[in-house]
Structure 1
């Protein structure tokens, strides 16, 4: 039994070389494309789901914001597939790494902020100071709003990392409990195994929900700046 709870979150190595890049590329290889399967039901369902997701994310955006549709759809698919693949036994989930999540959140957040200052300069600056603010509170409020603006990518990354890591840790702990109870109390082990099964189903849902939440928040940041 693996005694280190955080061992599944360590970067896998092959001959002393990190293979994180190969793990990140794996989800894209699993998506069927029309070049591989033409007029296939899987392709039809996949395209229908992508259109539904794109419509849900971009329905409130203007023309400039809709140019980000491919980026946001690809982001959701990448995070969702990465999270789902991490549910497989003896696998590695890149989204449990804060550095990787920051690597996704910071450029996307910076792109939305730069788009806002380019397209809506006055409105973007106005967000730093609410209307009707007393004069003596202006420096403090500008500082607070600026800090909250720079915290947004950190919040995106930490939210995704914490939810995925917590779910995997809980599955690992309950799975270890099932193995320990097997030789002690078969009834308790059976009940714990049922709980583990239900939690696994919930974790699959969380993997998709967290991908949607991450993409939706980026979409909302974009909507405020376009």
Structure 2
């Protein structure tokens, strides 16, 4: 019996072994293996088309130097979508509801974009800390504010992904519990609640895909400022 609604977000263990590693490895097993043929099957064709469209749209405003990140962005996008979608299945665990995992993905990627900017164009990167035309008395205050906003970026990336997925899963469990309790008392209301649960599940599927896209899109914007 579930003692708390938040127990579903605890990292599960089996025989003292955390299952987080298994949950992170499973999406790569589900991906189809590419072949040397141009068109092998419908699944590979759909996957190649979607990845090409995604990378073209994502890297269009970025300079040529940032196109080296295309493979990393596409892999991260597919990885996050797979984790988010697999977490919607019954008796599964969503690793992206853990802030530690999301921060482990966000901080190194954000730090890499900052290091690239400081190494290749330090003047331009530091120029973001002080907008042009700022009055002299406001210069120290704006530098402090922009520096804080720079270091908050990875925290915002991780918290956004965690909060959206956690809220969606928690709301699904609340409505499912309400439908289960109302079923013997008010079957009609329970049926309407179940319909609402179905619509919410479809919305959560869209959220799982959108949040993965937003995560990678914000990383690409950070990269755009530093290349």
TM-score normalised over the length of structure 1: 0.97
Q: Give the SS at the match of 2:130.
A: coil
CA-CA distance at 1:3 after TM superposition: 3.6
Counterpart residue number, 2:177: 176
Query: SS in structure 2 opposite 1:68?
Result: helix
| Structure 2 counterpart of 1:75 | 76
Count of residue correspondences: 226
Q: Which runs of 5 or more residues in structure 1 are unaligned?
A: none
Cα distance, 1:141 vs. partner? 1.1
Q: 1:159, 1:205 → 2: CA distance? A: 15
Aligned to 2:53: 52
Q: Deviations over 1:31-51 (max 9, x none)?
A: 10125x971111111111111
Structure 1: distance between partners of 2:185 and 2:176:
15
Q: What are structure 2's unaligned runs of at least 5 residues?
A: none
- Which stretch shows the higher mean deviation, 130-139 or 19-28? 130-139
2:20 maps to 1:20: yes
Determine the structure 2 residue equivalent to 1:34.
34
- Give a deviation string over 1:145-176, Cα, whole Å, max 9, x none: 10000000000000000000000000000000
Q: What is the TM-score when the length of structure 2 is the normalising length?
A: 0.96
Task: Return the alpha-carbon distance in structure 2 between the equivalents of residues 133 and 45 of structure 1.
Answer: 50
Q: How does 1:111-190 map to 2 (within 5 A)?
A: 111-190=112-191
1:11 aligns with 2:11: yes
Contact in 2 for aligned 1:8/1:91 (Cα 8 Å): no
Deviation at 1:220, TM superposition (A): 0.5
Distance (whole Å) between structure 1 residues aligned to residue 95 and residue 197 of structure 2: 23
Deviating beyond 3 angstroms after TM superposition, the runs of 4 or more aligned structure 1 residues are none
1:193 — aligned with what?
A: 194
SS at match of 1:67: helix
**How many angstroms apart in 1 are the aligned matches of 2:59 and 2:33?**
23
